[in-house]
Amino acid sequence: MEFLDRYQQIVADAIAKYTFKDKPEELYEPMNYIISHGGKRLRPIMVLMACDLFGGNLNEAIKPALAIEFFHNFTLIHDDIMDEAPLRRNKPTIHTLHGINVGILSGDGLMLKAYKFFEDLEPEIFKACIRIFTHTGLLLCEGQQYDINFETQENVTFDDYIRMITYKTGVLSASSFEIGALIAKANFKDAKAIFNFGKHIGIAFQIMDDYLDVFGDQAQFGKKHAGDIYENKKTVLYLMAREHATEEERKELDYWYSKKTDNIDKVYGVEKIFRRTKVDEKALRLIEKHNEIGQSYLQKIDIPEEKKKPFAELANYLLRRES
């Protein structure tokens, strides 16, 4: 997708321009380290895409787009510490290289730098963007806490799970689109429609993440295989497996999820139940459902179809990903 390459280049150039040269290096170099690994840099691209969609000035959106990228990476650093994850994007995580204290501080530094990147916006748009940005951050923290709670909470419902991934993943994509729309001075109805498009694509993206954790190619995915099973995370795969498992299989799931262990037998045992209950197929159908809901919100925006086409292409690309 050529349009994606163009936006990625804009983001890459901006990141190069705003590389941290501050002191002490022990704080800022880890921040540069995680930002430089890049990934697909989807969320800043979402800001730019929405700004373009509504005819905004892309130059005004570049620094807020970087704010989203900095904030996203702040969450990844802290997420990796909480999950004790050794890898991120096939590279050693910051706390693995520099220790937990540096991981916490560099994550905090990225979050605070993110706020500074909204300062050039005109006052009313600045206030609106900061309100969305801060609310998104709080929801993300709530989602992360729900995720932690689920590890020891006996009864987690499907609705609990959807709320958790909406807060943890969906709202950041949604807010990225909405902030881009606001910078372009889109009307309230259209800004909310693109927000809801992003929310459902984000939900589908997280379900795909859960799917790939178990059924994806570890080398391409860049994370420890079945890390969610090791961590007792009650993902959509676990919830659907419990719903469709036999009583004996449910007891086996309860047994394995009562232990936080690197025992390979645990992974084999849980994966076997996942495959028998066909949760891989069910998860893929759920991904498609949320993609369709997201696309329905996109259709509500009163803009020529040709301009909306890249958004549909982006969603389909994200949900077909292997890593």
Residue 252 CB: number of other CB atoms within 10 A?
A: 16
Q: What is the DSSP letter of 88?
A: E
Task: Give the bridge partners for 120, in sequence order.
Answer: none
In DSSP terms, which residues pair with 88 in a beta bridge?
Answer: 91
Strand 87-88 relative to strand 91-92, pairing: antiparallel
Cβ atoms of 241 and 277 within 8 Å: the answer is yes
**pLDDT the model gives residue 28:** 97
pLDDT of residue 323: 37
Phi/psi of residue 91, each to 5°?
-120, 155
**pLDDT of 321:** 57
pTM of the entire predicted model: 0.91
Q: Which of 82, 80, 108 is nearest to 94 (CA)?
A: 80
Confidence at residue 83, expressed as pLDDT on a 0 to 100 scale: 83
Q: Residue 92 pairs with which residues in a beta bridge?
A: 87
- Residue 65 CB-half CA count within 13 A: 32
Q: Which residues contact 298 (CB under 8 A, 6 or more apart)?
A: 193, 194, 197, 308, 311, 312
Cα 124 to Cα 107: distance, rounded to the nearest angstrom: 28
Main-chain dihedrals φ then ψ at residue 303, nearest 5 degrees: -140, 145
User: What pLDDT was estimated at residue 272?
Assistant: 96
| 119 CB-near residues (< 8 Å, 6+ apart) | 126
The confidence score (pLDDT) of residue 220 equals 61
Q: How high is the pLDDT of residue 221?
A: 58
**DSSP string for residues in 97-115:** HH-HHHHHHHHHHHHHHHH
The pLDDT tens digits along the chain (323 residues) read 788 999 999 999 999 999 999 999 999 999 999 999 877 899 999 999 999 999 999 999 999 999 999 999 999 999 999 988 898 888 999 999 999 999 999 999 999 999 999 999 999 999 999 999 999 999 999 999 998 899 888 899 999 999 999 999 999 999 999 999 999 999 999 999 999 999 999 999 999 999 999 998 766 655 678 989 988 889 999 999 999 999 999 999 999 998 888 889 999 999 999 999 999 999 999 999 999 999 999 999 999 999 999 999 999 888 875 43
pLDDT of residue 97: 96
